[in-house]
Amino acid sequence: MKPTRRDFRLDIIVLLGSITGVTITVFGIYRWLSGQHALAWLDFAIVACVMLPVLYAWRTGDSTRAGAALCVLNSAGTLAACLLAGHTALTWIYLVLLTNFFIANRWLAASANLVILVGVQLLPGFFHDGFHATSVAVSVLLITGFSYIFAKRTQGDRARLEKLAAIDALTGVPNRRSMERALADAVDTFQRTGHNYGLVVLDLDRFKDVNDQYGHAAGDAAIADLASILRFEMRRNDHVFRFGGEEFVALLDLDNSQDLEAATERLRKAVRSALRGPGGRITISLGAALLREQEKTWHDWFSRADAALYRAKSAGRDSYVIADDLF
Protein backbone atom coordinates (compact mmCIF):
# COMPACT_ATOMS: atom_id res chain seq x y z
CA MET A 1 0.00 0.00 0.00
CA LYS A 2 1.29 3.45 -0.88
CA PRO A 3 2.28 5.38 2.27
CA THR A 4 0.01 8.23 3.36
CA ARG A 5 2.57 10.24 5.25
CA ARG A 6 5.14 12.48 3.67
CA ASP A 7 8.65 11.26 4.47
CA PHE A 8 11.68 13.19 3.22
CA ARG A 9 13.96 10.15 3.40
CA LEU A 10 11.40 8.03 1.56
CA ASP A 11 11.25 10.58 -1.25
CA ILE A 12 15.04 10.55 -1.53
CA ILE A 13 15.20 6.74 -1.51
CA VAL A 14 12.64 6.44 -4.29
CA LEU A 15 14.19 9.23 -6.35
CA LEU A 16 17.83 8.21 -5.99
CA GLY A 17 17.04 4.51 -6.19
CA SER A 18 15.12 4.99 -9.42
CA ILE A 19 17.82 7.20 -10.94
CA THR A 20 20.52 4.75 -9.87
CA GLY A 21 18.59 1.83 -11.33
CA VAL A 22 18.07 3.54 -14.68
CA THR A 23 21.66 4.80 -14.87
CA ILE A 24 23.28 1.47 -14.03
CA THR A 25 20.91 -0.31 -16.40
CA VAL A 26 22.11 1.92 -19.24
CA PHE A 27 25.74 1.13 -18.34
CA GLY A 28 24.88 -2.56 -18.16
CA ILE A 29 23.31 -2.54 -21.62
CA TYR A 30 26.33 -0.69 -23.03
CA ARG A 31 28.75 -3.17 -21.48
CA TRP A 32 26.72 -6.10 -22.69
CA LEU A 33 26.75 -4.76 -26.23
CA SER A 34 30.50 -4.11 -25.89
CA GLY A 35 31.10 -7.72 -24.96
CA GLN A 36 31.85 -7.02 -21.27
CA HIS A 37 29.34 -9.59 -20.13
CA ALA A 38 30.73 -10.11 -16.62
CA LEU A 39 30.51 -6.40 -15.81
CA ALA A 40 27.09 -6.19 -17.42
CA TRP A 41 25.78 -9.01 -15.23
CA LEU A 42 27.22 -7.20 -12.20
CA ASP A 43 25.38 -4.03 -13.23
CA PHE A 44 22.09 -5.86 -13.61
CA ALA A 45 22.55 -7.60 -10.26
CA ILE A 46 23.19 -4.24 -8.59
CA VAL A 47 20.03 -2.82 -10.18
CA ALA A 48 17.98 -5.73 -8.83
CA CYS A 49 19.46 -5.33 -5.35
CA VAL A 50 18.86 -1.57 -5.39
CA MET A 51 15.26 -1.78 -6.57
CA LEU A 52 14.19 -4.33 -3.94
CA PRO A 53 14.53 -1.93 -0.97
CA VAL A 54 13.12 0.93 -3.08
CA LEU A 55 9.96 -1.08 -3.79
CA TYR A 56 9.80 -2.16 -0.14
CA ALA A 57 10.01 1.46 1.01
CA TRP A 58 7.37 2.57 -1.49
CA ARG A 59 4.89 -0.11 -0.47
CA THR A 60 5.39 -0.02 3.30
CA GLY A 61 6.62 3.50 4.03
CA ASP A 62 9.47 2.04 6.10
CA SER A 63 12.27 4.34 4.98
CA THR A 64 14.56 3.45 7.91
CA ARG A 65 15.09 -0.22 7.02
CA ALA A 66 15.00 0.41 3.29
CA GLY A 67 17.54 3.22 3.60
CA ALA A 68 19.88 1.11 5.70
CA ALA A 69 19.64 -1.78 3.23
CA LEU A 70 20.22 0.54 0.29
CA CYS A 71 23.24 2.11 2.00
CA VAL A 72 24.85 -1.30 2.59
CA LEU A 73 24.02 -2.52 -0.92
CA ASN A 74 25.34 0.62 -2.60
CA SER A 75 28.57 0.45 -0.62
CA ALA A 76 29.06 -3.25 -1.30
CA GLY A 77 28.27 -2.74 -4.97
CA THR A 78 30.80 0.08 -5.16
CA LEU A 79 33.55 -2.09 -3.70
CA ALA A 80 32.64 -4.87 -6.12
CA ALA A 81 32.81 -2.42 -9.03
CA CYS A 82 36.23 -1.23 -7.85
CA LEU A 83 37.45 -4.82 -7.68
CA LEU A 84 36.29 -5.59 -11.21
CA ALA A 85 36.80 -2.26 -12.97
CA GLY A 86 39.77 -0.85 -11.10
CA HIS A 87 40.30 2.84 -10.43
CA THR A 88 37.83 3.81 -13.20
CA ALA A 89 35.08 3.04 -10.65
CA LEU A 90 36.20 5.94 -8.45
CA THR A 91 33.39 8.07 -9.93
CA TRP A 92 30.85 5.72 -8.33
CA ILE A 93 32.62 5.95 -4.98
CA TYR A 94 32.16 9.71 -4.65
CA LEU A 95 28.48 9.47 -5.62
CA VAL A 96 27.81 6.74 -3.07
CA LEU A 97 29.68 8.61 -0.34
CA LEU A 98 27.26 11.51 -0.71
CA THR A 99 24.01 9.61 -1.17
CA ASN A 100 24.60 7.35 1.83
CA PHE A 101 23.89 10.30 4.12
CA PHE A 102 20.58 11.04 2.42
CA ILE A 103 19.18 7.52 2.59
CA ALA A 104 20.45 6.18 5.91
CA ASN A 105 21.20 7.12 9.49
CA ARG A 106 24.28 9.33 9.54
CA TRP A 107 26.23 6.91 11.77
CA LEU A 108 25.55 4.03 9.41
CA ALA A 109 26.44 6.22 6.43
CA ALA A 110 29.72 7.29 8.04
CA SER A 111 30.57 3.67 8.88
CA ALA A 112 29.78 2.53 5.34
CA ASN A 113 31.97 5.28 3.92
CA LEU A 114 34.89 4.25 6.13
CA VAL A 115 34.45 0.64 5.01
CA ILE A 116 34.64 1.82 1.41
CA LEU A 117 37.80 3.80 2.21
CA VAL A 118 39.52 0.84 3.89
CA GLY A 119 38.29 -1.56 1.21
CA VAL A 120 39.75 0.35 -1.74
CA GLN A 121 43.01 0.91 0.12
CA LEU A 122 43.38 -2.84 0.48
CA LEU A 123 42.72 -3.63 -3.18
CA PRO A 124 46.03 -4.61 -4.79
CA GLY A 125 47.08 -2.42 -7.71
CA PHE A 126 44.03 -0.19 -7.42
CA PHE A 127 46.01 3.06 -7.16
CA HIS A 128 48.76 4.37 -9.44
CA ASP A 129 51.02 5.20 -6.49
CA GLY A 130 51.05 6.29 -2.86
CA PHE A 131 50.14 9.88 -3.72
CA HIS A 132 47.05 8.69 -5.60
CA ALA A 133 46.00 6.53 -2.65
CA THR A 134 46.52 9.40 -0.20
CA SER A 135 44.57 11.91 -2.30
CA VAL A 136 41.62 9.51 -2.58
CA ALA A 137 41.70 8.85 1.17
CA VAL A 138 41.71 12.58 1.95
CA SER A 139 38.84 13.15 -0.51
CA VAL A 140 36.78 10.36 1.05
CA LEU A 141 37.35 11.68 4.57
CA LEU A 142 36.49 15.26 3.57
CA ILE A 143 33.31 14.21 1.76
CA THR A 144 32.29 12.03 4.70
CA GLY A 145 33.01 14.76 7.26
CA PHE A 146 31.15 17.50 5.43
CA SER A 147 28.25 15.18 4.59
CA TYR A 148 27.99 14.10 8.24
CA ILE A 149 27.81 17.72 9.44
CA PHE A 150 25.29 18.62 6.75
CA ALA A 151 23.11 15.59 7.55
CA LYS A 152 23.17 16.37 11.26
CA ARG A 153 22.17 19.99 10.72
CA THR A 154 19.52 19.10 8.16
CA GLN A 155 17.98 16.43 10.38
CA GLY A 156 17.75 18.84 13.31
CA ASP A 157 16.27 21.64 11.20
CA ARG A 158 13.74 19.27 9.61
CA ALA A 159 12.64 17.96 13.01
CA ARG A 160 12.11 21.50 14.30
CA LEU A 161 10.16 22.52 11.21
CA GLU A 162 7.96 19.42 11.41
CA LYS A 163 7.25 20.15 15.07
CA LEU A 164 6.33 23.75 14.32
CA ALA A 165 4.09 22.66 11.45
CA ALA A 166 2.25 20.23 13.72
CA ILE A 167 1.58 22.57 16.67
CA ASP A 168 -1.07 25.29 16.94
CA ALA A 169 0.69 28.56 17.72
CA LEU A 170 -1.97 30.01 20.06
CA THR A 171 -2.66 27.00 22.26
CA GLY A 172 0.48 24.88 22.00
CA VAL A 173 -1.55 21.73 21.27
CA PRO A 174 -1.32 19.72 18.03
CA ASN A 175 -3.21 21.22 15.10
CA ARG A 176 -5.65 19.83 12.54
CA ARG A 177 -2.85 18.36 10.44
CA SER A 178 -1.68 16.32 13.43
CA MET A 179 -5.26 15.36 14.25
CA GLU A 180 -5.87 13.91 10.79
CA ARG A 181 -2.76 11.75 11.09
CA ALA A 182 -3.66 10.59 14.59
CA LEU A 183 -7.24 9.69 13.64
CA ALA A 184 -6.07 7.82 10.54
CA ASP A 185 -3.61 5.86 12.70
CA ALA A 186 -6.35 5.10 15.23
CA VAL A 187 -8.66 3.74 12.52
CA ASP A 188 -5.82 1.64 11.11
CA THR A 189 -4.98 0.25 14.57
CA PHE A 190 -8.64 -0.53 15.25
CA GLN A 191 -8.99 -2.37 11.94
CA ARG A 192 -5.87 -4.43 12.61
CA THR A 193 -6.13 -5.12 16.34
CA GLY A 194 -9.64 -4.19 17.48
CA HIS A 195 -8.20 -1.69 19.97
CA ASN A 196 -10.99 0.78 20.69
CA TYR A 197 -10.99 4.58 20.57
CA GLY A 198 -13.43 7.36 21.32
CA LEU A 199 -13.64 10.74 19.63
CA VAL A 200 -14.94 13.92 21.25
CA VAL A 201 -15.58 17.10 19.27
CA LEU A 202 -16.25 20.20 21.35
CA ASP A 203 -16.41 23.96 21.10
CA LEU A 204 -17.06 27.00 23.25
CA ASP A 205 -20.66 28.06 23.79
CA ARG A 206 -21.57 31.54 22.54
CA PHE A 207 -17.96 32.27 21.68
CA LYS A 208 -19.03 35.00 19.25
CA ASP A 209 -20.51 36.94 22.16
CA VAL A 210 -17.15 36.88 23.96
CA ASN A 211 -15.38 38.27 20.88
CA ASP A 212 -18.04 40.89 20.20
CA GLN A 213 -18.30 42.19 23.77
CA TYR A 214 -14.72 41.93 25.01
CA GLY A 215 -12.58 41.77 21.87
CA HIS A 216 -10.52 39.15 20.11
CA ALA A 217 -7.82 39.24 22.80
CA ALA A 218 -10.35 37.95 25.33
CA GLY A 219 -11.47 35.31 22.82
CA ASP A 220 -7.90 34.16 22.25
CA ALA A 221 -7.35 33.98 26.02
CA ALA A 222 -10.45 31.82 26.42
CA ILE A 223 -9.27 29.46 23.66
CA ALA A 224 -5.79 29.20 25.22
CA ASP A 225 -7.27 28.55 28.68
CA LEU A 226 -9.60 25.89 27.27
CA ALA A 227 -6.62 24.15 25.65
CA SER A 228 -4.79 24.13 28.99
CA ILE A 229 -7.76 22.60 30.77
CA LEU A 230 -8.24 19.93 28.13
CA ARG A 231 -4.54 19.10 28.07
CA PHE A 232 -4.59 18.67 31.87
CA GLU A 233 -7.60 16.33 31.62
CA MET A 234 -6.00 14.05 29.04
CA ARG A 235 -4.79 10.70 30.35
CA ARG A 236 -1.52 9.13 29.32
CA ASN A 237 -2.76 7.71 26.00
CA ASP A 238 -5.27 10.46 25.21
CA HIS A 239 -4.64 13.36 22.85
CA VAL A 240 -6.22 16.75 22.27
CA PHE A 241 -6.06 18.82 19.09
CA ARG A 242 -7.24 22.24 17.99
CA PHE A 243 -9.44 21.65 14.98
CA GLY A 244 -9.92 25.32 14.17
CA GLY A 245 -11.43 28.44 15.68
CA GLU A 246 -12.92 27.56 19.06
CA GLU A 247 -13.35 23.89 18.17
CA PHE A 248 -11.20 21.13 19.69
CA VAL A 249 -11.00 17.36 19.23
CA ALA A 250 -10.04 14.78 21.85
CA LEU A 251 -8.90 11.29 20.86
CA LEU A 252 -9.48 8.96 23.80
CA ASP A 253 -8.08 5.50 24.44
CA LEU A 254 -10.98 3.58 26.01
CA ASP A 255 -12.95 0.34 25.85
CA ASN A 256 -16.67 1.02 25.46
CA SER A 257 -19.44 3.60 25.12
CA GLN A 258 -19.88 3.81 28.89
CA ASP A 259 -16.26 4.89 29.29
CA LEU A 260 -16.71 7.38 26.45
CA GLU A 261 -19.78 8.90 28.09
CA ALA A 262 -18.01 9.17 31.45
CA ALA A 263 -14.96 10.82 29.86
CA THR A 264 -17.13 13.27 27.89
CA GLU A 265 -19.03 14.31 31.00
CA ARG A 266 -15.74 14.67 32.88
CA LEU A 267 -14.46 17.09 30.26
CA ARG A 268 -17.69 19.09 30.33
CA LYS A 269 -17.58 19.44 34.12
CA ALA A 270 -13.86 20.30 34.18
CA VAL A 271 -14.33 23.14 31.70
CA ARG A 272 -17.51 24.38 33.40
CA SER A 273 -15.80 24.65 36.76
CA ALA A 274 -12.48 26.11 35.58
CA LEU A 275 -13.00 28.24 32.45
CA ARG A 276 -13.74 31.92 33.06
CA GLY A 277 -13.82 34.98 30.83
CA PRO A 278 -14.41 38.70 31.39
CA GLY A 279 -18.15 38.02 31.51
CA GLY A 280 -17.94 35.06 33.87
CA ARG A 281 -18.24 31.31 33.34
CA ILE A 282 -17.70 29.89 29.84
CA THR A 283 -19.09 26.46 28.97
CA ILE A 284 -18.68 23.99 26.14
CA SER A 285 -20.84 21.61 24.16
CA LEU A 286 -19.56 18.19 23.18
CA GLY A 287 -20.34 15.46 20.69
CA ALA A 288 -18.74 12.03 21.02
CA ALA A 289 -18.55 8.84 18.99
CA LEU A 290 -17.05 5.43 19.56
CA LEU A 291 -15.17 4.09 16.55
CA ARG A 292 -17.25 1.49 14.72
CA GLU A 293 -16.12 -1.48 12.63
CA GLN A 294 -17.83 -0.28 9.45
CA GLU A 295 -15.94 3.03 9.50
CA LYS A 296 -12.93 2.58 7.24
CA THR A 297 -11.81 6.23 7.29
CA TRP A 298 -11.59 8.81 10.04
CA HIS A 299 -13.94 11.15 8.13
CA ASP A 300 -16.98 8.95 8.81
CA TRP A 301 -16.08 8.68 12.46
CA PHE A 302 -15.55 12.42 12.77
CA SER A 303 -18.83 13.19 11.00
CA ARG A 304 -20.79 11.21 13.59
CA ALA A 305 -19.12 13.03 16.48
CA ASP A 306 -19.60 16.39 14.76
CA ALA A 307 -23.30 15.70 14.20
CA ALA A 308 -23.60 14.84 17.89
CA LEU A 309 -21.95 18.16 18.79
CA TYR A 310 -24.53 20.16 16.83
CA ARG A 311 -27.28 18.13 18.45
CA ALA A 312 -25.88 19.09 21.85
CA LYS A 313 -25.72 22.77 20.94
CA SER A 314 -29.31 22.66 19.69
CA ALA A 315 -30.37 21.10 22.98
CA GLY A 316 -29.27 24.16 24.96
CA ARG A 317 -25.47 24.05 25.19
CA ASP A 318 -23.32 23.08 28.21
CA SER A 319 -24.23 19.50 27.37
CA TYR A 320 -23.08 16.49 25.42
CA VAL A 321 -24.52 13.90 23.06
CA ILE A 322 -23.07 10.48 22.32
CA ALA A 323 -23.39 9.71 18.62
CA ASP A 324 -24.87 6.26 19.18
CA ASP A 325 -27.82 7.97 20.85
CA LEU A 326 -28.76 9.44 17.46
CA PHE A 327 -29.50 6.07 15.86
Average pLDDT, the chain: 86
246 counts as catalytic: yes
Express each pLDDT in 118-153 by its tens digit: 998 888 888 888 888 898 889 889 988 888 888 888
Q: Per-residue confidence at 3, pLDDT binned at 50, 70, 90?
A: very low
Angle at 297 (CA atoms; ends 292, 299), nearest 5 degrees? 95
Q: Per-residue confidence at 310, pLDDT binned at 50, 70, 90?
A: very high
Is 70 exceeded by the pLDDT of residue 316? yes
Is 90 exceeded by the pLDDT of residue 259? yes
Across 265-288, average pLDDT = 93
Q: One of 233, 246, 261, 295 is an active-site residue; which one?
A: 246
Q: What does the pLDDT read at residue 6?
A: 54
Across 107-126, average pLDDT = 89
pTM of the model: 0.62
Q: What does the pLDDT read at residue 63?
A: 84
Distance, CA of 213 to chain centre? 42
Across 249-263, average pLDDT = 93
Instruction: Give the integer Cα–Cα distance in Å for 153 and 155.
Output: 6
